[in-house]
Structure 1
Amino acid sequence: MRRRGPALWLSGAAAGLALLAGTAEYGATRVVEGRIEDALRPRLGPTEADLSGPGLLAVARGRVDAAEVTGHDVAFGRITGASVDLSLHGVTTAGDGRATVASVRGRITVPAGAVRASLAAGDRALPVGAVTTDPASGTLRLGLGPGGAATVVLRPELRDGRLSFDLAEATLLGRPAPERLVGAVREELAAAEGRRAGPGGADAALPGLRAEAARVTDRGVEVTVRGTDLHLAPPSGGLA
């Protein structure tokens, strides 16, 4: 019976230490994840980082071996409303909004609605109605005008690392569209591509990120991306 008191005290102390260690680990993990999110926010918008490995060790080393980054309303160059799923490796954060990433790979999905918004913007915007995806053919089908009288079929492709759309087919009331309509569509596609390009060119989303492939899925257009030696800095500090 006399040994019970010290044993209970030791058990309580151990539990307290475990709680403190767990709290410290959670806090350190959130600090590192927050630094990664802060470094990405000026380029992608709001994202959520999920650290792989001990947070305390990452703080002590100043380096993260791996982290997963997801977001559901991010910017891909000039296209907004995309979702992102990235795997980052060898991340160093300074706590001032700067970070370096040894390598990154993943995918960015541009939903059909974001494609519609991109084509419907600008002075010569297309009167885009419904947008449907056709993964089997690798195309997007757009209805134009009142009631979707005209139909345009677009095939996504990459040009200099940017997402572009090639006109595969255009019909009006089920028949081949007149050249005037085809020409107008091509002009707006070129104008939209110019708006999406913006500063930064191929790596407008993240400096050093390269788009490698694009394919149509049920959700929209999925772009596979990869990059090495990324240097991120706040806009006021420029890019390293």
Structure 2
Amino acid sequence: MPYTNKIITRLNSFFIEIGALSYFTGRFFKELFKRPFEFKEIMRQAYNMGNQSLLLVGITGFIIGLVLTLQTRPTLMEFGAVSWMPSMVGISIVREIGPIITALVCAGKIGSGIGAELGSMRVTEQIDAMEVSGTNPFKYLVVTRVLAITLMLPLLVIIGDAVALYGSYLVENVKGDVSFHLYFSQVFESLEFGDIIPATIKTFFFGLAIGLVGCFKGYYCEKGTVGVGVAANSAVVFTSLLLFIIDFIAVFVTDIFYDI
């Protein structure tokens, strides 16, 4: 019986948090179209997020391209289909691997940073001071950060995809003596707009989820300085789960359109 009560309590907490996040999201869209529009702050946040994440995204993408090609090449050689390597890697990275891996990297890097930053401002009463002074902290702190990561993530995904494909090309060049022109000609011949457009659109939703969850966890941080670490950690965990859910929905919807 105590175990059942514990499960019920956790479920209640989970659904309460989902409701609070939904309200937070609604407030974001409400504040989004209100003046003033903090363009300078949005650009500053976008630059900081992109600049801080670019190296990590590039290294991750490069290693993904290397590993994916090294792991897949022996299997394709057994079936005499090694010539399909550029097409297979290109479709895999652009459709799925590039967007979701880059989003997870940014969730760990940017999402936790937002949660910790806003959490620190909450426990040191900086957000309360902004409210007392008559400014709108939600508009300045939350809306700008969510918009910045929503705009930057698609660009980071494109860069990550390009670096991953280049890493794959290097393996093919060393192992199979494939030229740069031949490799990327096969990659682009295999890709269609139906591969690129859905993959790009869902990155905006990935960025929105990372920004909203990170800001939500930090903005309502509690329990003093200990809560800052909890906010940063829970932001990454919750965002990662949400990213997989969004990715599943995007793939499911895209598959329906393909069938039509």
More helix by percentage: 2
Tell whether the structures are fold-level matches, with TM greater than 0.5.
Answer: no
More strand by percentage: 1
TM-score (norm 2): 0.29
- Higher RCO, 1 or 2 (CA under 8 Å, sep at least 6)? 2
Larger Rg: 1
TM-score (norm 1): 0.31
